[in-house]
């Protein structure tokens, strides 16, 4: 019996108790929340449904819990139901009901853990979007890992996800990049506001190699334009290649310049003007954003005719909505808190629902640490730590896992020595080793002649098996919560908990016989459980974009 089945059965009991009291209240399965008690003596599952219903029904919560418990004891597969504290209902499953999950998982395979929270919902997930003026710094790398994992989790909940990269190729930073490349080629010092690092001279040399004409005999402004056009394309190609090596690919690369050249900015302003949200003052065009919760109105067209900063946001959001995306998520760095209020005002002005049609996720800083000291500089970039630095130090799997296993609300220090180890101290190694061990056990079982030709769920009655089955049952709920709360780190922490329980079970229970011991259905049934753990670890690591090796 899995938690969903138990919730449905308990819902029927609760509805019967309510009706038996001559009362009526509308309930769904979502109202019957089950949690695993921290203390195993309190059973396999606990529910606070009696305490939730006590006030609207006007009854004592413990008294209601007792009524529910009496009828719940008749549910097939339940061994015991107890009431604790002010009205918690603690449920213990019999071994057969709990153990049946092992077979369910193996037969479900890659589908186990998937749900329908966002079934058919179109989701645009914009992340990384680093300017094409240098390698991706470590803050952007965090979004690469978290964003791609979140996309996978949304897809596991039925979401129709588009991964999108906003290619910022319009503005002053591109001019600075071009001037930096030109200065490098001419042997001049980098511009005061320009970019440094070995990558600048590398890109400049590649521009010369790729350009078919003679740069020496054209005016300097034309030279700069060549370095801008070719250099940006080369830099962006490097960014794409680095992300691909990190296991992150995008469905759409959207060019900011397109918004300004296609008339999209003007169309967005006209739409807001029709909605009464645009006015003219001091020779400029303004968005009346204070009417929608912003702290001040925003300039969309400056008095000199140039587009204001927010104009691109207006056009880009409207473009996404016109492309049919119901939910739009943008991942931004810690220095972008000030953008949230204005973007939500924009969403409301267009007639949409803030935090539903548009969500902004803000991530905190990442530091790489070696020998207890922060790593400040990149060999290649010269000023910041990059994606390449992380991968070179610990590899793709450890890099992704290290970046995704903590809440985005917390700053992360990545100890390069720890994450480079091939020992259980390294969390990703610990989880991957558990997965590899399940395959090692399966290979040994095959050599001994243990197969899955029999399954008797009631034989999975060891305490470590009860713990393991309880954790396995949690996986669908963890994935759903990770999607709902935008917290992929929950999947990583879950995988570590499952790996720990599996290692303990491995030490207590054997799949293969010892000595002259005959093969029994206990061995065959435990092989099902072993393989179920391997499947769930594989599914969890897959959601994080981390490999699940069969051997280590």
pLDDT tens for each residue of 202-246: 999 999 998 888 888 899 999 999 999 999 999 999 999 999 999
> What average pLDDT score do residues 107-125 get?
97
Q: What is the pLDDT of residue 374?
A: 85
Q: Of 148, 24, 35, which is closest to residue 478 (Cα–Cα)?
A: 35
Q: What is the pLDDT of residue 531?
A: 98
In the three-class reduction of DSSP (H, G, I as helix; E, B as strand; rest coil), residue 332 is classed as strand
Q: What is the pLDDT of residue 429?
A: 98
Tell me the C-alpha to C-alpha distance, in Å, between residue 284 and each of 128, 210, 265.
Answer: 32, 43, 15
Among residues of the chain, what percentage have pLDDT more than 70?
Answer: 98
Q: Which residues contact 172 (CB under 8 A, 6 or more apart)?
A: none
Q: What is the pLDDT of residue 377?
A: 65
DSSP letters for 218-280: S-HHHHHHHHHHHHHHHHHHHHHHHHHHTT---SEEEEHHHHHHTTHHHHHHHHHHHTT-EEE
- Residue-wise pLDDT for 399-455, tens only, equals 999 999 999 999 999 999 999 999 999 999 999 999 999 999 999 999 999 999 999
Q: Of 268, 273, 261, which is closest to residue 311 (Cα–Cα)?
A: 268
Rounded Cα gap, residues 269 and 302, in angstroms: 13
The first and second tokens of residue 226, run together, are 């060549």
- Residue-wise pLDDT for 477-503, tens only, equals 999 999 999 999 999 999 999 999 999
Rounded Cα gap, residues 435 and 501, in angstroms: 12
pLDDT at residue 344 is higher than 90: yes
Numbers of helices and strands, H then E, in the chain: 19, 15
Range in 105-109, 138-142, 231-235, 375-379 the model is least confident about: 375-379
Among residues of the chain, what percentage have pLDDT more than 90?
Answer: 76
Rounded Cα gap, residues 399 and 419, in angstroms: 8
Range in 210-214, 309-313, 317-321 the model is least confident about: 210-214
Torsion of CA 35, 39, 40, 43, to 10 degrees: -50
Q: How many Cβ atoms from other residues are within 10 Å of residue 86's Cβ?
A: 13
The first and second tokens of residue 202, run together, are 């590398």
| Banded model confidence at residue 292, pLDDT cuts 50, 70, 90 | very high
Rounded Cα gap, residues 196 and 278, in angstroms: 41
Give the containing element (helix H, strand E) for 413: strand 412-415
- Residue-wise pLDDT for 439-489, tens only, equals 999 999 999 999 999 999 999 999 999 999 999 999 999 999 999 999 999
pLDDT at residue 328 is higher than 80: yes
pLDDT at residue 297 is higher than 70: yes
Reduced DSSP (H G I as helix, E B as strand, rest coil) percent helix, strand, coil of the chain, to 5: 55, 15, 30
Q: What is the pLDDT of residue 217?
A: 84
- Residue-wise pLDDT for 22-56, tens only, equals 888 888 888 898 888 877 778 889 999 999 999 99
In the three-class reduction of DSSP (H, G, I as helix; E, B as strand; rest coil), residue 465 is classed as helix
Q: What is the pLDDT of residue 226?
A: 93
126, β-bridge pairs? 164, 330
Rounded Cα gap, residues 11 and 124, in angstroms: 35
- Residue-wise pLDDT for 160-196, tens only, equals 999 999 988 766 788 889 999 999 999 998 888 888 8
Q: What is the pLDDT of residue 381?
A: 59
The reply to whether the predicted model has a pTM over 0.75 is yes
Q: What is the pLDDT of residue 379?
A: 59
Three-state SS letters, 20-76:
HCCCCCCCCHHHCCEECCCCHHHCCEEECHHHHHHHHHCCCHHHHHHHHHHHHCCCC
Q: What is the pLDDT of residue 127?
A: 95
Report DSSP state, residue 192.
Answer: T
Highest mean pLDDT pick, 12-26, 149-163, 246-260: 149-163
| Banded model confidence at residue 266, pLDDT cuts 50, 70, 90 | very high
pLDDT at residue 348 is higher than 90: yes
The first and second tokens of residue 438, run together, are 């399940």
47, β-bridge pairs? 34, 89
Contact between residue 182 and residue 228 where contact means Cβ atoms under 8 Å apart:
no
Tell me the C-alpha to C-alpha distance, in Å, between residue 438 and each of 64, 207, 227, 441, 523.
Answer: 44, 51, 54, 5, 14
Q: What is the pLDDT of residue 281?
A: 95
Kindly calculate the radius of gyration of the chain based on its CA atoms and give it in whole angstroms: 29
Q: What is the pLDDT of residue 378?
A: 63
In the three-class reduction of DSSP (H, G, I as helix; E, B as strand; rest coil), residue 462 is classed as coil
Only one residue has tokens 């991957």, namely 432
| Banded model confidence at residue 309, pLDDT cuts 50, 70, 90 | confident
DSSP letters for 311-331: HHHHHHHHHHHHTT-SEEEEE
């Amino acid at each position: 019996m899995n938690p969903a089945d138990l919730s449905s059965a308990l819902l029927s009991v609760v509805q019967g108790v309510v009706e038996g009291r001559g009362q009526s209240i509308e309930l769904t399965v979502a109202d019957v929340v089950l949690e695993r008690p921290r203390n195993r003596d309190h059973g396999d599952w606990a529910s606070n449904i009696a305490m939730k219903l006590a006030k609207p029904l006007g009854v004592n919560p413990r008294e209601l819990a007792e009524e529910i418990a009496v009828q719940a004891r008749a549910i097939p597969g339940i061994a015991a139901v107890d009431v604790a504290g002010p009205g918690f209902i603690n449920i213990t499953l019999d071994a057969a009901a709990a153990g049946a999950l092992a077979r369910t998982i193996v037969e479900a395979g890659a589908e186990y853990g998937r749900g329908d929270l966002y079934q058919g919902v179109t989701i645009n997930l914009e992340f990384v979007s680093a300017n094409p003026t240098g390698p991706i710094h470590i803050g952007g790398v965090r979004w690469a890992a978290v964003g791609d994992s979140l996309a996978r989790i949304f897809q596991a909940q039925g979401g129709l996800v588009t991964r999108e990269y906003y290619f910022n190729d319009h503005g002053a930073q591109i001019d600075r990049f071009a001037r930096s490349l030109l200065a490098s080629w001419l042997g001049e010092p980098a511009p005061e506001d320009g970019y440094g690092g070995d990558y600048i001279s590398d890109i400049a040399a590649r521009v010369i190699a790729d350009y078919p004409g003679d740069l020496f005999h054209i005016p300097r402004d034309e030279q700069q334009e060549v370095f801008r056009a070719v250099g940006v394309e080369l830099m962006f190609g490097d960014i794409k290649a680095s992300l691909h090596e990190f296991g992150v690919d995008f469905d759409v690369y959207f060019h900011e310049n397109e918004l300004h050249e296609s008339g999209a900015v003007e169309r967005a302003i006209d739409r807001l003007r029709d909605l009464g949200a645009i006015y003219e003052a001091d020779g400029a065009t303004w968005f009346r954003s204070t009417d929608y919760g912003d702290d001040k109105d925003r300039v969309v067209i400056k008095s000199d005719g140039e587009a204001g900063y927010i104009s691109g946001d207006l056009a880009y959001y409207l473009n996404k909505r016109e492309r049919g995306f119901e939910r739009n998520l943008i991942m931004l760095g810690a220095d972008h808190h000030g953008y949230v209020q204005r973007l939500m005002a924009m969403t409301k002005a267009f007639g949409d629902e803030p935090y539903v049609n548009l969500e902004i996720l803000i991530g905190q800083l990442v530091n790489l640490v070696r020998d207890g000291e922060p790593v400040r500089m990149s060999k290649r970039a010269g000023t910041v730590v990059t994606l390449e630095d992380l991968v070179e130090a610990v590899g793709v799997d450890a890099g992704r896992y290290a970046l995704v296993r903590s809440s985005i609300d917390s700053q992360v220090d990545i100890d390069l020595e720890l994450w480079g180890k091939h020992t259980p101290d390294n969390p990703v190694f610990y989880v991957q080793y558990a997965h590899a061990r399940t395959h090692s056990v399966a290979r040994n079982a095959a050599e001994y002649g243990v197969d899955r030709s029999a399954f008797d769920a009631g034989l999975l009655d060891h305490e470590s098996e009860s713990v393991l089955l309880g954790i396995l049952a949690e996986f669908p709920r963890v994935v759903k919560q990770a999607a709902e709360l935008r917290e992929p780190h929950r999947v990583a922490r879950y995988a570590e908990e499952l790996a720990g329980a599996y290692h303990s079970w491995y030490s207590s229970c054997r799949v293969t016989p010892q000595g002259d011991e005959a093969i029994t259905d206990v061995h065959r049934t435990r092989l099902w459980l072993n393989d179920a753990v391997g499947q769930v670890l594989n599914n969890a690591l897959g959601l994080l974009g981390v490999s699940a090796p069969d051997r280590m």
